[in-house]
Amino acid sequence: MQVHRDLDHLPEFRNAVITIGTFDGVHAGHRIIIRQLEQAAQDGNGETVIITFDPHPREVLLPTPNNIRLLTTLPEKIALLEKAGVHHLVVVPFTKAFSEMSARSYLEDFLIARFQPHTIIIGYDHRFGHNREGGLELLEAEQHLYGFKLIEIPQQIVQDLTVSSTKIRKSLQEGNIRLANELLGYQYFLSGAVVHGDKMGRQLGYPTANLQLADQRKLIPAEGIYAIQVQLNGSTTKLPAVMSIGFRPTFNGTDLRLEVHIFDFNEDIYGRELTVHFVEYIRANQKFDHINDLIAQMDKDAAQAKAILLQTDAIS
C-alpha cells in the first residue's frame, strides 16, 4: 500500500475507486466497505483509494478536543489498511481552513482535481464542505458532468458501522474484551515504550514492564486485570502475559499505570516498544489490607490468565 501525505504531489491513480472516512479501528464493518471498494476496482480495472484525515476532525472542530479517544493511532490504522489490501491511503491534514472549504470547492478542487475518480463510494448520509452543506445530492447532480460513477453505501450498513464503533468503545471502557474483539475482527491492542517504574512488582515476585503509550489519545480499556499476549518490536512472536491497568489501590497510587508481567521471561527490555493484545478481562482492581493477600490474588490472576491463554492458543 502506498501512503500519500502531500496533496500537491499525488500520483495519477488508475481509475481511482475512492471512499472517504476516519476508519478508526478498521473494524469488521469497515472491511465490508473495503471489499466493496475492491470489487468496484476489479470491475473497472482500477485502484482502491481511501481518503482519511489526521488529526481526527473532531479534534479540530469540537470545543474539547482532548476528549478524543482513538481505537487506532495513525500508524496502527495504516498497518491495518495495508493488511486489508488497500492500494492507496491518502492522509489529508485536517485543519480549520479545510473544514471551511465550500462543498463545491471540495468536490471540484479536492475530489475531482486531485483524484480524478472513476468511482466514488460514499455513505447515504455523508456530508462535506463548510457547515456540512454538501452531500450525496450534490454528487448525484454532478456525476455525469465529471464522469464518475457514484455508489451509495446503504443506510443499514452506515448505521451498522456507527453502532459497531460505539459498541467497541463502550465494550472496551466496560472491560468487555470479547465483544470488542468480535466487532473489531482482531484483538484490540495498544503499544508503548517500556519505562522504569518503582520496581514494586519485582518485590512481589511479579516483575512488570511499565508502558508509556506512544499516543495519549489511544483508548485505554477499563481498569482491571487482563489476560494478554505481547509482542516486542521487531518480533512476530506473541508471548503470554497478564496485565494490570489502574492506580494500584493497595499502595494508594495516584497515577494510572499500565503494568505487564510476561510469564517465564527475564530479559531487559527497557526502552523497547511493546504491543499488548487484549484477550480477556479477569477482574476489577481491589484494595488489599495485607501484601500477602495481594500476592495470593496475583497468583490466582496469573493462573487464570495462563488457563485463558492456553485455551486461546488451542482455539486458534
Q: What is the pLDDT of residues 56-115, one digit of tens each?
A: 888 888 877 567 789 999 999 999 999 999 999 999 999 999 999 999 999 999 999 999
Residue 310 is placed in which grid cell? 492456553
Q: Does the structure show a pLDDT above 60 at 195?
A: yes
Q: Which residues are catalytic?
A: 259
List every span in the chain annotated with CATH 2.40.30.30.
Answer: 188-315
| Superfamily (CATH H level) for 2-169 | HUPs (3.40.50.620)
| pTM score, whole prediction | 0.91
The predicted structure's pLDDT at residue 314 = 54
How does residue 198 score in pLDDT terms, banded at 50, 70 and 90?
Answer: confident
Class of domain 188-315: mainly beta
Give the distance from CA 95 to its chain's centroid: 21
The predicted structure's pLDDT at residue 27 = 94
Higher pLDDT, 196 or 1: 1
Question: What is the layout of strands, in order, in the sheet containing 119-123?
Answer: 2-4, 88-93, 48-54, 17-20, 119-123, 149-153
- Cα(14)–Cα(226) distance, integer angstroms: 46
List every span in the chain annotated with CATH 3.40.50.620.
Answer: 2-169
Q: What is the pLDDT of residues 131-171, one digit of tens each?
A: 899 999 999 999 999 999 999 988 888 787 777 888 999 99
Give buried/exposed letters for 115-144 (b at 16+ CB in 10 A, else e).
Answer: bbbbbbbbbeebebbeeeebbbebbeebee
- Report the chain's mean pLDDT, rounded to a whole number: 92
How does residue 315 score in pLDDT terms, banded at 50, 70 and 90?
Answer: low
Give yes or no for a contact between 16 and 4, defined as CB atoms under 8 angstroms apart.
no
